[in-house]
Structure 1
Amino acid sequence: MAPLIRIQLGIFFVLLCPVNIIGLWWAVGSPLVMDPNSICRKTKQLAGKQAELCQSQPEIIKEVIKGAKLGIRECQHQFRSRRWNCTSHSKYFGKVLQQDIRETAFVYAVTAAGVTHAVTQACSMGYLLQCGCEATRSRGPPRPADTGTEAVRWEWGGCGDDVEFGYEKSKQFMDGRQKTGKSDIRTLMDLHNNEAGRLAVRNYMRTECKCHGLSGSCTLRTCWRKMPPFREVGNRLLERFHGASKVMGGNDGKTLIPVGRNIKPPDKQDLIYSAESPDFCLPNRKTGSAGTRGRVCNSTALDMSGCDLLCCDRGYRDETVVYEENCLCRFHWCCVVQCKKCSVRKKLSLCM
């Protein structure tokens, strides 16, 4: 009979979910947890454009860090069922970032995308004085939909997302850091993956509209441009991760070429890498692998979340977990919500 474990809800989720990283100190290439003030206090170690951003627009640095958090949380979601689950533990995370593998490519891309998204969102919300809603004076009218009726008048309005501002600030900070001790090829790869992340936001803007008119008619339609939800950005980058291109340095030391014959060069939205990933099955400080022992797996799945693949054929054990959660919640006027505590039993499969 499977062992019975009783734990509180908070502890249960700590076991199931990777620890959220607080932030990345990208400026000096360290995965250590830092805050915006810590970054700007060490401007002597920052590249010129980064130091300038800290000194002249420190409020943007706060949004940059929010974007880094957003990117790492998305990384942890997308890799939650893989052998490497984007753990934020500095002992492992830093070692992964030192390698030229496809996991590193994803981290760079999703973080650059997160910074783009966060800064742009801050503009739309009015949190930054340097930017606001997207300027639409020079833009042509939105393409009308085929409604089968007479043409509807269109005009730009609302508050469109100024993704160009977010894109530029992400580029300024993410691409501006010094890369001492790294080859030119690694620098080109990092810059390419940063750009792929930003384009996963900028190239997929969507038009949203609202109808105006009497009695529900749509005599005028006001439209604005919005960013895609960040989960959609993460999904798209995960597809690029699966189709990432392996590259090597050209003879001139300034270009990247695909490895293998008859392989088309990667475009700007593709992720690139130059070294094969470790299997991440066993703990290995050199490669940044924490191993998969104790990880929750799906005993019926055939994909990477399945126990055979996730546990690296070492087998798994079943445990029954009992945890408490709020239930039967009722709203009392005014303004209190009262809940009862209910015990929930869940069967887990854990890698050996």
Structure 2
Amino acid sequence: MKPSPQFFLAGFLSLILQTGLCYGIKWIALSKTPSALALNQTQHCKQLEGLVVSQVQLCRSNLELMQTIIQAAREVIKTCRKTFSDMRWNCSSIELAPNYLLDLERGTRESAFVYALSAAAISHTIARACTTGDLPGCSCGPIPGETPGPGYRWGGCADNLNYGLIMGSKFSDAPMKMKKSGSQANKLMHLHNSEVGRQVLKASLEMKCKCHGVSGSCSIKTCWKGLQELRDIALDLKNKYLSATKVVHRPMGTRKYLVPKDIDIRPVKETELIYLQSSPDFCMKNEKVGSHGTQDRQCNKTSNGSDSCDLMCCGRGYNPYMDKVVERCHCKYHWCCYVTCKKCERTVERYVCK
């Protein structure tokens, strides 16, 4: 029996709902922006890849902010790859922006992490740019209201977290607020995970101090509020990725909400990452599900963690190879005050998955 047109239409609609077609992280393609592009005229905004209409409008009205946002896109890619370098899914598909595979197009655990990281990264980069004086529209963060302890005083230049959060969320959340940006469930999930990223960023604000005193006595400390490095924020988000909650879009009263799939007696926590679609195991290459596979990935023979040859290679085994490493050696301290070293070469055995 020949399938009806309605059958194909239903399948197409199902695919749309599964992939989400959400443009929320396509702005990471800004990482590919040529350095030769000056971005000093509003018409340059149309030349930027991965932006939706509302983001192009924000670009036109905030031209001075765009180089910082481009830097944030580069930080997202670099940090994501480093954070997951020891996992089967190693964030490699993020470099395909804006044309992602299904690991990031669907509402997966992996997309949850990338949305959270990208939201945190853009606000983090803007807040730091205020501190360094790279943005004319902002300056140092405010002096805290509380009084520091004895021997401490407020000073320095605090990271302007408030400005970073306002401008960062305005830009990164803009695609999810479009009418045609995928299913309602995907939009709610992405907005939730982006907010989780910003919550982790807020929690990373800590007191940083510099010592003053005779002969390094540190009798007085000048302190300010500064953000942790993005790599530390990413590690916190990775822990949330590992414990993320699968959710469903379910009616509750007159509206639909995202609720935990297996324990829907409670609402979704504001601090947890959530996802709608289960992920593949990422063992074998399969672009239909967004998996690059782990063949030829380097593994650690002595590890018991996720980077171990057993887990990374999914039981397929591994091949050894010899690698030459050049290191500094025979270092000598010379009075006063420098160090000289020689370069030594040694051979180490490494392993890659079959």
Instruction: Provide structure 1 residue ranges, at least 5 long, that are not aligned to the other structure.
Output: 1-24, 145-151
- 2:174 alignment partner AA: G
Aligned to 1:350: 352
Distance 2:343 2:216 in 1: 46
Q: How does 1:315-330 map to 2 (within 5 A)?
A: 315-324=317-326
Contact 2:319 2:352 in 1 (8 A): yes
Task: Determine which of 174, 177, 194 is the counterpart of 2:175.
Answer: 177
Aligned to 1:110: 117
Give the conservation status (yes or no) of the 8 Å contact 1:60–1:128: yes
Using CA pairs under 8 Å that are at least 6 residues apart, name the structure with larger relative contact order, 1 or 2.
1
Asked if structure 2 preserves the Cα contact closer than 8 Å seen for 1:28 and 1:177, the reply is: no
1:157–1:287 distance in 2 versus 1, CA, 3 Å:
same
Indicate yes or no: 2:73 matched with 1:68: yes
Is the Cα–Cα contact under 8 Å of residues 296 and 351 in structure 1 kept in the other structure? yes
| Matched AA of 1:199 | Q
| Structure 1: distance between partners of 2:232 and 2:323 | 32
Q: Amino acid of the residue matched to residue 111 of structure 1?
A: S
Q: Provide the rounded CA distance (Å) in 2 between the counterparts of 1:32 and 1:90.
A: 11
Cα distance 1:65–1:327, how it changes in 2: closer, same or farther (>3 A)? farther
TM-score (norm 2): 0.78
Q: Does structure 1 residue 128 correspond to structure 2 residue 126?
A: no
Cα contact 1:141–1:155 (8 A) shared by 2: no
Closer/same/farther in 2, CA of residues 61 and 214 from structure 1, 3 Å limit: same
Deviates more, 1:193-202 or 1:175-184: 175-184
* 1:65 Cα deviation from its structure 2 partner: 1.9
Cα 1:43–1:90 change in 2 (3 A) is closer
Residue 80 of structure 1 pairs with residue 85 of structure 2: yes
User: One-letter code of the match for 1:54?
Assistant: C
Kept in 2: contact 1:49–1:172 (CA 8 A): no
TM-score by length of 1: 0.78
Give deviations 1:214-268, integer Å, cap 9, x for gaps: 7877776533111112222011111111111111112156421111136643322
Distance across 1 between alignment mates of 2:102 and 2:351 = 28
CA gap 1:30/1:134 in 2 versus in 1, 3 angstroms: closer
Identity of aligned residues (%): 36
- The amino acid across from 2:126 in the alignment is V
Partner of 1:55: 60
Other-structure match for 1:34: 32
How far residue 48 of structure 1 moved from its aligned partner, in angstroms, is 5.7
Aligned residue identity for 1:64: I
In structure 2, do the counterparts of structure 1 residues 318 and 134 end up closer, same or farther at CA, with 3 Å as the change threshold?
A: same
Deviation at residue 204 of structure 1 after TM alignment: 2.3
In the TM superposition, 1:195-210 aligns within 5 A as 195-210=195-210
The partner residue of 1:312 within 311, 314, 325 is 314
Decide whether the 8 Å contact of 1:82 with 1:305 is kept in 2.
yes
Q: What is the aligned counterpart of 1:99 among 96, 106, 114?
A: 106
Aligned residue for 2:174, secondary structure, equals coil
Moved more, 157-166 or 90-99: 90-99
SS at match of 1:250: strand
User: 1:204–1:228: 8 Å Cα contact kept in structure 2?
Assistant: yes
Shift in CA distance, 33/140, structure 1 to aligned 2, threshold 3 Å: closer
User: Does the residue aligned with 1:347 lie in a helix, a strand or coil?
Assistant: strand
**Comparing 173-182 with 116-125, which one deviates more in the overlay?**
173-182
Contact 2:30/2:70 (<8 A) preserved: no
Output the CA distance in 1 between the equivalents of 2:219 and 2:327: 50
Any idea what the Cα deviations from partners look like across 1:275-324, whole Å, max 9, x if unmatched?
11101111101111111111111122222111111111111111112255
Give, as a single letter, the amino acid of the residue that structure 2 aligns with 1:157.
G
Q: Are the aligned partners of 1:298 and 1:305 in contact in 2 as well (CA < 8 Å)?
A: yes
Task: Specify which of 154, 157, 162 is matched with residue 156 of structure 1.
Answer: 154
Tell me if the contact between 1:31 and 1:93 (Cα under 8 Å) persists in the aligned partners. Answer: no
2: CA distance between counterparts of 1:216 and 1:298?
43
